[in-house]
Amino acid sequence: PKSGRRTMAEDTSHSEDDVQETKKSCWDCLPCYRPYAGDTTKLREIVVNAPYSQDPELLSRHQFMDNYVATTRYRWWNFIFKNLYEQFQKAANFYFLIMAIITSIPGVSTIPVYATVTPLAFVLAVTAIKDGIDDYKRYKNDRELNNRTVEVLVPGGDTQVLKWDQLQVGHVVKVKQDTNFPADLILLSSSEENGECGIQTANLDGETNLKIRQALKETVSLSPEHIAKVGSMTVKCERPHPQLYGFEGQLFMDDAHYALNPSHMLLRGAMLKETKFVYALVIYTGNQTKVMLNNDPPRFKQSHMDKVMNKQLYLIFILQFCIVFTCTVLSGWFYVNRAGKHWYFRIEDTSVAAGTQDAVTNFFAFYVLLSVMVPISLIVSMELVRLGQAVLINVDNRMYDSEDGKLAAARSTTLSEELGQIQYIFSDKTGTLTSNQMAFEKCSISGVMYGGTEKDTIGVNDSKRNKSGGDGSFDLKSQHKDGLLTEADRSHERRATRIPDMSTIDVDGDPRFCNMSDPALLFKLLEGDEAARSYVLALALCHTVSAVTDITRPGKVIYQGESTDEIALVTMASFHGVRFVSRERDVVTLVLPWVTQEGQQQHNDSKGAAASGGPGHRRSNTMGSRVQFKILQIMAFSSDRKRMAVIVQYPDGSIRVLIKGADDVMERRASKDPQVNSPDMWKTTHSHLFQFSREGLRVMLVGERVLDAKSYQEWSKRYAEASESFADKGDSRQEKMDRIAGEIEKDFKVLGVTAIEDKLQDGVPLTLKLLKKAGIKIWVLTGDKQNTAVNIGKSCGLIGWDYQLEYLRATTPEDVMKELKTIKQHLELSDKQGAALMVTGASLEVGLEDKTQELLFEVMNHPIVRVVVASRMSPKQKARVVTLVKTKLHVVTLAVGDGANDVSMIRAAHVGVGIRGKEGMQAANSSDYAISKFRFLTQLLLVHGTLSYNRNAILILYFFYKNIMMAVQQIYFVFVCGYSSEEVFDGYMLNTFNLCWTALPILLFSVFDRPANVDELLEFPQLYLSGLHGDLFNFRTFWISFFEAVVHGSVVWLMTWYTAHDMFDSYWVSSVATYTVVVLVANTKMAMITTTWFWFNALIIILTVLVYFGFIYLYCGPIGFSFSPWLFGVIQQVMARPMFYLVALWLCISVFLQDYLVYYVQRIFNPTLLMLVQECRNDTSKKQDLIYALNNKSARRKSTTTYTKAPNGRNNPGNTGMMGAKYPQHEAKLKMLAT
């Protein structure tokens, strides 16, 4: 039991006192709930190889959770009890449990116990089996993981093989290449001399790029014998918490301590790559590892249709109580006033007291008799149908992505019909609407733009660059002949001819990451322009990218990193001669296209190694230099800081802070001294920022600050203290580090601007167009700059070029209120068809406050506001917006994103869709549905969503229809049996009605029926409106179906019962005859609602009827005699009467004709769009007219003759179109649908 015990605090804030006891729980007296000895202090103290110690005191306090992992919901001993407890949380199951209990009370009900227990037991058993199978799969996966093996260092330096579940905190493991880490580890040393190792975290976040982890330099050179010595090192760290990339710790060795951070950590589930082996210390095990703490249990989301159905159930419960109460009163009245007159009742006491007692007993019996009004089999049928619909999503080839080789994945099986009712879509931009394939396009350096026009830019194409191999170089002379970019002045040719005589420039990196290669910039670099050199050097040094040998191009490297933006920046520097070629611990080596004194010496020293082809040799330019830069400190990028900085010691000894980040943050922190950043530079830079943003490019500012050695030493000391500290009540370690980093990340000189293109995904404009036609409102919530988001929105068609644009940029409550009122007035006076609202994250934070929240949502939900674009949004703000829209507007929402920053938004929405992208799998793993491309949303929503909504709506209505029709027979029977609680049908007959004779046809219908085919659903996205508005399943349609069942049940009772009463002398004969007719009528109704006939659903309906007659014949014979002897020989009497066949045939035809007449009248006088689409199915001319009527804006304002013109502009004499001559009555309907 302890292996599943989570005793750690959820937050990481604790004091420096690592011996303070944690608060005791009232459960600590129980052994299975008692905290582990090692987790009773605020900090976890881990002694190397303590499990091999002979010291009892050390072993007693060094107790932690074992490495056994269990992701199952149940254990073998609690499965039945826990599963039943979960199932009885559902109202319907609990209701039937009460009915079963009432039935089992002797003398209360005439219905045998099995009549109510059997269907309940069936539903519970099916659900339990499904849950058990799912849990067994999890158990098998757990067993496979727990039985994996790993080598463990034992004292003396030898290794011992242990299973994963035998690992303990304090063990030192040896993990080999291409194997997964068995627990959360601290890297001590590796097969690489510098202590680095490469890891792949695809199992954690889906990212396949190589990430570098670094061991402390103090432990890199330690031998296995020294490491394996018990107590050679001690680690103090925070207790387990779910923050995947958060870790604070210290390593104590030889009376010294060293800070540990996430760069030293190897997480369980990650894989070792590009490294032969590593030695690492186990710090977190089992369910306390970070991957397990982030392994959320399956989330339960209830669909909107379920909620509507529950409301109708409450009304049925009320109606049921009214009927039962009426029957109870009549039962008591009959007992007192009439029962004594009928000798066969053998009632002697007809007093009021006796009548009251009999009525009370009958009250519960009537409840049991009328429990058929609530179809218990509907619950399990819905689960099976949704499972089938999820399978159809999983195997849909239209959502197959050839790039990742994956289909869509339905991770939730309870929301299929919810896909057909989406009203609001909240979408991320980067990686969702765009491809997250970054390519460097342009830049601005000290107010000068490079890569400005297409004709002046060397595109990365086959005609200008050798992509395939060779040395990856391009010829400057030949490019010059084509006309290359200059500084936008008229001295281009003169200066271009002054480029030094260099035939080739070496290029590293993947050409896909850079579309700019500007000889004017290269000329500036070679000429010695300080601004250009500082800018390009900053791009080549301020990053965490690693250089990996390119196996396809010998002597070249490609760049790998956690951020594709950084790869694009480093590639751009490489394309202009500043090549990043290696990183060795804290030394970065660049090859520069110009000659430096320091680089020339290093270059000369490396000639011998180059000539001999020594390790690490790369051919450098004859006029270039290989220069080493020392990285003193890296302040990594974070979404809170929105910037990254490195402190670099240049070869000349100078110390510089290189910083890059979001333009709004960087501008606030840049130097205000006009001597450093001149007003002219700012004016030009702002102009370039605006231009880049209008083109939809991602922009960043790059800056540089020079430090003196004394200032750096003082700052470095304080930063080191912060990096070695633990969280306290005030700040966490990271907050302390960020605050001290901010002290040096200011007052810098702005070097320039980067502009990176994130291309739109294929099919995004068409997808957004179809979704908008379907009536879905789309909001974009992004962290990008506002102008960038707006122009991406325009380029993809989300924002119409004729839309009225309104901006909300204020940051104070008063200003926000004022701007909102102004925007509202503009919208009310606008004569445009649509408007788009642009909001910044800062404005939205203020607007979501109580004072302005109502007005904000009034503006956002204005009728002409088609799109809302919120920029500079944090993950928490995204989730908050989704939650508020969901609760305030009471709409069905969908959130779609591809990154870890979208997880909160995805979980907050009714339906979460994750896109498998370059930012990892965290979004997909947290979603209800996972797809590979944004364009697949059309197939998911417009096809699967529409069909699932239609199918499930009819499924629910049909189930209630047939059950109410059955309940009507019992209600009428009360009036002919002396208001007693006698049942009209045998118990087994009641049970088999839902389970056998009406189950399979509706199940097949709900999975395979297609009222419109896939192409029609995409051609006419307006078909989605039926689900968006809830037209098929709502209060009106439910009660129409309810009263239709009452009418049909009444006709069946009157025709069958009274006809049979004249023919037969036994009420059981009449019962079987009535039951048979109900089965036939229910299957006739099923045939009428089927719109798509396959051979199997026609066969199932026919076989159901045939098998029923075989069953009833055997059940009323010798086989059923032991169960229901009163039915013996009954069916023979029924089948012997020709009148029975006539009545049954007449009733089935009546139902058929009634439905046919209703459908016919509706198609003639009030057709739905679906009916019009079906009518156009085989007529191309009609289909074109209908598409024209729905899509042409002018058709909404013009007369009927507008619709008679064909889409090609030609008039069709003799055929005035669908709305002209043949269907003039549809004009108003089509205009409404078009609007």
Q: For residue 415, what is the DSSP state?
A: -
Residue 80 CB contacts under 8 Å (≥ 6 apart), including other chains: 128
CB 881 within 8 A of CB 843: no
List, in sequence order, every residue forming a beta bridge with 881; answer none if it has no partner.
none
Tell me the three state secondary structure of residue 70. Answer: coil
Residue 17 CB contacts under 8 Å (≥ 6 apart), including other chains: 42
Give the separation between CA 1048 and CA 1154, rounded to whole angstroms.
10
Give the separation between CA 804 and CA 1167, rounded to whole angstroms.
35
Q: For residue 180, what is the DSSP state?
A: B
3-state secondary structure 948-995: HHHHHHHHHHHHHHHHHHHHHHHHHHHCCCCCCCCCCCCHHHHHHHHH
For 1112-1235, strand residue ranges (E) read: none
Tell me the three state secondary structure of residue 208. Answer: strand
Tell me the three state secondary structure of residue 31. Answer: helix
Reference 532, options 669, 702, 392; nearest CA is 702
Give the separation between CA 743 and CA 659, rounded to whole angstroms.
13
3-state secondary structure 1205-1231: ECCCCCECCCCCCHHHHHCHHHHHHHH
Q: Print burial letters for 645-678: b (CB count within 10 Å at least 16), e (below 16).
A: bbbbbbbeeebbbbbbbbbebbbebbeeeeeebe
CB 33 within 8 A of CB 25: yes
Tell me the three state secondary structure of residue 622. Answer: coil
Long-range contacts from 457-462, C-beta under 8 angstroms, 24+ separation: 457/485, 457/515, 457/516, 457/517, 457/518, 458/482, 458/484, 458/485, 458/516, 458/517, 458/518, 458/519, 459/515, 460/511, 460/512, 460/514, 460/515, 460/517
Give the separation between CA 987 and CA 1006, rounded to whole angstroms.
28
Give the separation between CA 74 and CA 1095, rounded to whole angstroms.
42
Give, in order, the Cα–Cα distances in Å from 1068 to each of 394, 967, 1131: 49, 17, 10
Cα-Cα-Cα-Cα dihedral of 820, 821, 824, 825, to 10°? -140
Long-range contacts from 824-829, C-beta under 8 angstroms, 24+ separation: 824/855, 824/858, 824/859, 824/862, 827/859, 827/862, 827/864, 827/865
Give the separation between CA 736 and CA 730, rounded to whole angstroms.
9
Reference 1131, options 1069, 1060, 1079; nearest CA is 1069
CB 189 within 8 A of CB 279: yes
CB 175 within 8 A of CB 272: yes
Query: Which entry of 428, 518, 784, 928 is annotated as an active-site residue?
Result: 428
Q: For residue 26, what is the DSSP state?
A: T
CB 238 within 8 A of CB 247: yes
* 428 classed as catalytic: yes
Give the separation between CA 146 and CA 69, rounded to whole angstroms.
7
Give the separation between CA 484 and CA 490, rounded to whole angstroms.
12
- 1150: tokens are 């009546």
CB 779 within 8 A of CB 870: yes
Give the separation between CA 805 and CA 799, rounded to whole angstroms.
9
Catalytically active residues are 428
